Structure 1
């Protein structure tokens, strides 16, 4: 048996035996705005956002698949992922920073986050967090902290 066949067979044996419908990869959104384009302001805003997401959702760094941060083009003083990487247990989480698409009239000085993680919770029980000026982005689903 070649290596790929062995790995596939092992994966199927391990994962098919688990009850279906329990654990799934879910996406959790959040956003905040920053008072100014400085490393300190960005770090404070990202920490506040991640603290609120963790306080309102069952985030275990060992279950996080990946995190994507986006920042509007006017924020370039530091990478938001650099802040997340300093959190206890988050040093092994795959993190990515991207620039948010610029659309006329869109919210400025905004940092968004999308966290993919494994959880048995249904998607509709997760609590997206929108802080500061970002609360206007999704008032239909956001619970602002």
Structure 2
């Protein structure tokens, strides 16, 4: 069964270093908490808000050992008035035997306000 594993994090500054470090932290936690192996990942979508322009967050995942053949795509988040700023969102499509309730969605920093019901999941 393919399940979606969601995650999001915010950055303080629009710099390559900040974007890469935040993305790395988020992806590490998503992979660790859900015991994800790259060969079980169908694809990964990464979106950023309009104010993130200094790096492609997908570079982080592509540089991880074993993740070179996983399809990864970066895109812009839709622009909505009063939306959370400087936010990176991730959606991994993972082959897993886990139920939806067993998936750990990861929301860090200011992104916790996006899904407070999931921010402190398992």
**TM-score interval, normalised by the smaller of the two chains:** over 0.9
**Structure 2 counterparts to residues 62-141 of structure 1, below 5 A:** 62-141=39-118
Query: Which residue number in structure 2 is paired with residue 12 of structure 1?
Result: none
Q: CA deviation at 1:143?
A: 2.2
**Take 1:44 and 1:144, find their aligned partners in 2: how far apart are those partners?**
22
Return the match for 2:31 from 26, 51, 54.
54
Where structure 1 has 5 or more consecutive residues not aligned to the other structure, the ranges are: 1-23
For structure 2, which runs of at least 5 residues remain unmatched after alignment? none
Q: How far did 1:141 drift? A: 1.9
Q: Distance in 1 between matches of 2:33 and 2:52?
A: 26
Q: Is the radius of gyration larger for structure 1 or structure 2?
A: 1
Larger RCO: Structure 1 or Structure 2 (Cα < 8 Å, ≥ 6 residues apart)? 2
Matched residues, number? 122
In the alignment, which residue of structure 2 is the partner of 1:143? 120
- Cα RMSD of the aligned pairs, angstroms, is 1.3
- Shift of residue 144, structure 1, vs aligned partner: 6.8
Counterpart CA distance in 2 for 1:106 and 1:144 is 23
TM-score by length of 2: 0.96
Displacement after TM superposition at 1:115 (Å): 0.1
